[in-house]
Structure 1
Amino acid sequence: MGAVSDVTDADFEERVLKSDKPVMVDYWADWCGPCKQVSPIIEELAEAHGDKITFVKMDTNTNPVTPANNHVLGLPTIQVYVGGELVKAFKGAKSKSVLKGAIEEYL
């Protein structure tokens, strides 16, 4: 179960902030090299833990409002939300162990 789905400015509140499960959000852009390094790691985590945590990605080129509202100043930025609250945030490419550690307590 799992796989990472796309989230947009229009459905961010419903799919992330109102989610019953913790949500990991990957803010990315097609021109971002480090984003391409992080993407397969998040896909792996989604395959392994998608039953307990929702994994979504947001293209910041086509969805500028949510990243601006959530203080995303660099890419990639990974944020973890629980109960509609931001509980963890990372800027820049991170290793699988760091990202797994961010969600460990919710598994």
Structure 2
Amino acid sequence: MAGIGVLEVSDATFDQEVLQSEQPVLVDFWAVWCGPCKAIAPIVDELATAYAGKLKVTKVNVDQNGATPSRYGIRGIPALLFFKGGKVADQIVGYVPKDVIEAKVNQILA
């Protein structure tokens, strides 16, 4: 379900791809059965394209990877977590319009 420029990460690759990333990282926690996740996916894909080289965009399927969502207290999806320097810098839970997500991205990159 990951679009162009979006990296699927798992419990096994999360630390390497997200926490050790030199760029800020947007992590989209999602599931196949989640309607709002499907609605937000094209926005996440657009951001991956728009911020290529500045922001790493990743997805974690919560049904296939249980350890990472529980480690970050993910109870509702879609959940977007913004990581900077290996730490959670911000988060959005639930469906929100693109401009809300973009505003957070710009804050993280500032």
TM range (shorter): over 0.9
Give 1:26's aligned amino acid. Answer: D
Cross-structure match for 2:58: 56
What TM-score, normalized by structure 1, do the two folds share?
0.96
Match of 1:68 among 65, 70, 73: 70
For the residue of structure 1 that corresponds to 2:47, the secondary structure is helix
Structure 2 stretches of 5 or more lacking a match? none
The structure 1 segments of at least 4 consecutive aligned residues displaced by more than 2 Å after TM superposition are: none
Cross-structure match for 1:100: 102
Distance 1:11 1:39 in 2: 21
How big is the shift at 1:62? 0.3
What is the RMSD computed on CA atoms of the aligned residues?
Answer: 1.0
What TM-score, normalized by structure 2, do the two folds share?
0.93
Identity %: 36
Structure 1 stretches of 5 or more lacking a match? none
How big is the shift at 1:94? 1.2
How big is the shift at 1:78? 0.3
Cross-structure match for 1:26: 28
